[in-house]
Amino acid sequence: MVFRILLALCGAAAAVASVLWIINQYRSDRRLLVNAYIGYEPQKPQIKFLTIEIINSGKRPIRLQGIEIDKSRRTSERPSESQRKQIIPDKWPRTLNEGETYTVIIGNPLFSELFKGEYRYIFVHDSTNKRWNISNRDIRKMYKEYKKIEAEGRSAPVNRR
């Protein structure tokens, strides 16, 4: 009798561990890393732009649909056009396979509007309508760098980690 109870407990523990492992594998299958940097053209330092780097670090292909820049993070209500900008780069929608990187360069006038309009959230949408965001820390660093550049009246350095 005790053996059967012990065997049932071991079976239940193995089932729970198996379910947790499957959930972990599913969550790690689809993963994007999104980074952003302020840069400039070496030949023309006065021309600044925003570089968004998208990396598929998951194990399955992800189809990218567009980039959204918001003033507010709220998604329950439909934001007005003054609160949100939709960017669809050339050759999009685009599929990123495992380990692939894609870089989007946002130039003027959208670059200037982005930083003067105080947009705070940058998202990449995939085909399942999941939003992959640039971290708040990176966005704060970009704003500080932009304000520093504007105050000094100089060109932007290439900001790579």
DSSP character for 86? E
Tell me how far apart the alpha carbons of residues 157 and 37 are, in angstroms, rounded to a whole number.
10
pLDDT digits (tens, 9 = 90+) for 23-77: 887 766 778 888 888 876 666 666 778 888 999 988 888 898 888 888 765 554 5
What's the pLDDT score for residue 117? Answer: 65
Instruction: Assess whether 37 and 93 both reside in one domain.
Output: yes
Residue type at 38 in one-letter notation: I
The phi, psi pair for 29, rounded to 5°, reads -65, -40
Q: How far is CA 69 from the centre of its chain?
A: 11
Which domain covers residue 76, as residue numbers? 31-152
- Rg of the chain over all Cα atoms, to the nearest angstrom: 22
**Do 93 and 37 belong to one domain?**
yes
Same domain assignment for residues 11 and 74: no
Number of domains in the chain: 2
- Same domain for 7 and 17? yes
- 36 and 106 share a domain? yes
User: Is residue 12 in some structural domain?
Assistant: yes
Residues 67 and 96 in one domain: yes
Q: Are residues 25 and 64 both part of a single domain?
A: no
Q: Is the pLDDT of residue 13 over 60?
A: yes
Q: Same structural domain for residues 9 and 61?
A: no
Task: Give me the phi and psi of 81, to 5 degrees please.
Answer: -65, -25
158: in domain: no
In this predicted model, what pLDDT tens digit does every residue of 74-116 receive, in sequence order?
Answer: 554 555 555 777 777 878 888 888 889 988 888 777 777 777 7
Helix (H) / strand (E) element for 131: namely: strand 131-133
Confirm whether 138 is domain-assigned: yes
Element housing 35 (H / E):
strand 32-40
| Same domain, yes or no: 35 and 25 | no
DSSP 8-state secondary structure symbol assigned to residue 80 = P
Q: Flag whether 160 is in a domain.
A: no
pTM, 2 dp = 0.68
Whether residues 10 and 40 fall in one domain: no
Query: The CATH number of the domain where 66 resides is what?
Result: 2.60.40
> What's the helix, strand, coil split of the chain in %, to 5?
30, 30, 35
